[in-house]
Structure 1
Amino acid sequence: MNRYIRKCRLMGCSFELGIVSSEETIAQHFLGEGVKEIQRIENLLSEFKSESQISQINQNAGESQIKVDPEVFDLLARCSQISTISKGYFDISVGPLKRLYRFKNDDFTPPDKRKIAETLKKVGHHFIKLDKTEQSAGLKRKGMKISLAAIGKGYAADVVRRKWKENNIAGGYIDASGDLTAFGKDENGNPWKIGIANPDNQDRTLFHIPLNDAAVATSGDYEQHFIHKGKRYSHNIDPKTGFPVIGIKSVSIFSPSAELSDALATAVYAMGIQRGIAFLDQLPQTHGIIINDENKVFFSKKLQYESISA
């Protein structure tokens, strides 16, 4: 068996698709099919493509409902469910708040509290209206915008993985800038493993975690944060307060679904360490690792891992 790889830039990030197969022709075909599927999903979900269904919803905020494809409706419904179980810490309408900040890893003066309070009026998952009978979606308030950036890559990875497995691919993975889903075995017949990087040094791995037909997503501030009065602020926004999260450098979530891992990494980051770990411990087949701003590591229950010696 050999590993065949395809690299591309899609959905605003770098993807690497890998297939384990004894037949290169078969591997290359399904790698191409995987890329096409991610492109198709990006065209449906991208907030930056004016013709996408998500853009159409945003353009009609506060005015009218938009009829959407069943898979878009179902994904939005699952977003609503995750918002509910996470008590609003996952919220696809948080975009207007993010636009108030500049996360360029340097000094930055945050907006004043009045501006944040005004913008918070345009944020809230409960202002997203889904009509199952009409298969439509809309936003109740003008100025609202939704973004599936915190779940879309995971959804795309799950779709590709499912199609590959349906076509009897022996093993493979989809890696979206470090968010990884894998199934089967590698080319040597070994289980896939994921390395959790040191948030201060991406070239150094802190832990190895086995990934058996599962997915991991990491939300970290090493690429996007800002400093204000000596304090480090993450690019992750607390949708309840409108302020960037402090005290956490990275959150990694392991679950059977890339979509779920992707969304929960964002939610747990906003929750904070104690609330986030307690939340994860209530979810079946779901685990997490949180690293705080002092590089202390917190684990959810029953997570199997291998520490890497310095």
Structure 2
Amino acid sequence: MKHVLLLVLLLVEVGATAQVLRKRTVKLMGSRFDITLVANDSLSAERHIDLVIAEVTRIENLISDWKDDSQISRVNQNAGIGPVRVDPEVFALTERALHFSQITNGAFDISFAAMDRIWKFDGSMTEMPSPEAVKKSVEQVGYQNIVLDKAHSTIFLKRKGMKIGFGALGEGYAADRCRDLMLAKGIKAGIVNGSGDMSTWGQQPDGRDWTVGITNPIQRDTVFAIVPLRQSAVVTSGSYEKFVVFNGKRYAHIINPRTGYPATGLSSVTVFGPSAETANGFSTSMMVLGKEAGLKLLKKYPEYRCILVTDDGRIFTSPNLDIKKYRL
């Protein structure tokens, strides 16, 4: 379940300060990464951007289900055969993903990677898939069939043909790791934005907070709110670009892993909180759960706040986010 970037990052580069801001855009994990760091000089900033790129590449080589030699690919190759030992880092990430599956009752599911891609959002679909085809497409999906053995750090997929993947968490996890790495290296401000999974820390060179502009998918060229960020993350899941319409109903590209049918009702969910990984888990889940169930879930986690936009353009927020303070 891939998210769509609806965020307009507002950066101010100020030359007349003691610190410099440097930004680089690269392709990592199959997606666009925008890396912005504030450092004492250009050389230090560029050198630390190199370290961020190296860290994301390291994580990609561990968890990518597209790389045949990654640990996750070995887990998938041994589905229905036997458990595979993985690094503690990979085990912990899988453990957190399973926790999300449990608290959302499967609205989020890392075994979604095994789903047959019967829905096409490239304009080629002319009719709805049959109910039988939809049911069959999710036969190998089911987080309940993932067995974790913490003592031996192994992952076992009980059913042959099962797969797990971190398309919905990997970039957020990488962004969080890089933020922590940069803080440990003495870089006191920056942004790591992995295709919309954004971790921020510190402030801009002129002392102002980083800010993010929020757009309404119905009016994508208009920013309706600007929200300040400090030592926090922001992630948007959206369905405004990829969808099909059958019998007057809009079906978006974010698929409910429990049913095989596209999510309906919300066109975007933006989640703010301390972790991009966790914010992504919430935003993806809430797209599937819908407004009422999504807000009920997030209420249990007061460190996280959200902005929801419905398919008809109405805007809702969690009770702990007063959007009036940030409206333009």
1:296 aligns with 2:296: no
Cα distance in 1 for partners of 2:21, 2:88 equals 34
1:44 aligns with 2:62: yes
Asked if the contact 1:98/1:237 (under 8 Å) is kept, the reply is no
1:24 aligns with 2:42: yes
Q: CA, structure 1 residues 108+59, in 2 after alignment: closer, same or farther (shift >3 Å)? A: farther
Asked if the contact 1:96/1:122 (under 8 Å) is kept, the reply is yes
Alignment partner, residue 14 of structure 1: 32
Cα distance in 1 for partners of 2:30, 2:220 equals 20
Alignment partner, residue 244 of structure 1: 262
Asked if the contact 1:97/1:116 (under 8 Å) is kept, the reply is no
Asked if the contact 2:107/2:257 (under 8 Å) is kept, the reply is yes
Question: What root-mean-square deviation, in Å, do the aligned CA atoms of Structure 1 and Structure 2 show?
Answer: 1.6
**Quick one: higher RCO (CA 8 Å, sep 6+), 1 or 2?**
2
* 1:97 Cα deviation from its structure 2 partner: 3.1
Q: CA, structure 1 residues 211+274, in 2 after alignment: closer, same or farther (shift >3 Å)? A: same
* 1:108 Cα deviation from its structure 2 partner: 4.1
1:178 aligns with 2:196: yes
Q: Aligned with 1:209: secondary structure? A: strand
Asked if the contact 1:131/1:137 (under 8 Å) is kept, the reply is yes
2:241 corresponds to which of 217, 220, 223: 223
Unmatched runs of 5 consecutive residues or more in structure 1: none
2:88 corresponds to which of 51, 70, 86: 70
Once the two structures are overlaid, the 10-residue window that deviates more, 173-182 or 261-270, is 173-182
Once the two structures are overlaid, the 10-residue window that deviates more, 62-71 or 89-98, is 89-98
Q: State how 1:166-205 maps to structure 2 within 5 Å.
A: 166-205=184-223
Cα distance in 2 for partners of 1:69, 1:231 equals 45
Alignment partner, residue 115 of structure 1: 133
Q: CA, structure 1 residues 279+98, in 2 after alignment: closer, same or farther (shift >3 Å)? A: farther
Cα distance in 2 for partners of 1:214, 1:105 equals 37
Cα distance in 2 for partners of 1:42, 1:268 equals 26
1:275 corresponds to which of 280, 287, 293: 293
**TM-score after normalising by structure 2:** 0.90
Paired residues, what number?
A: 309
Aligned partner of 1:206: which letter? F
Paired-residue identity, %: 37
Q: CA, structure 1 residues 304+17, in 2 after alignment: closer, same or farther (shift >3 Å)? A: farther
Unmatched runs of 5 consecutive residues or more in structure 2: 1-18
Listed one character per residue, the Cα deviations across residues 180-231 of structure 1 (whole Å, up to 9, x for unaligned) are: 1100001211111111122134432121112111101101112322222332
* 1:96 Cα deviation from its structure 2 partner: 3.3
Q: CA, structure 1 residues 107+247, in 2 after alignment: closer, same or farther (shift >3 Å)? A: farther
Cα distance in 1 for partners of 2:326, 2:246 equals 34
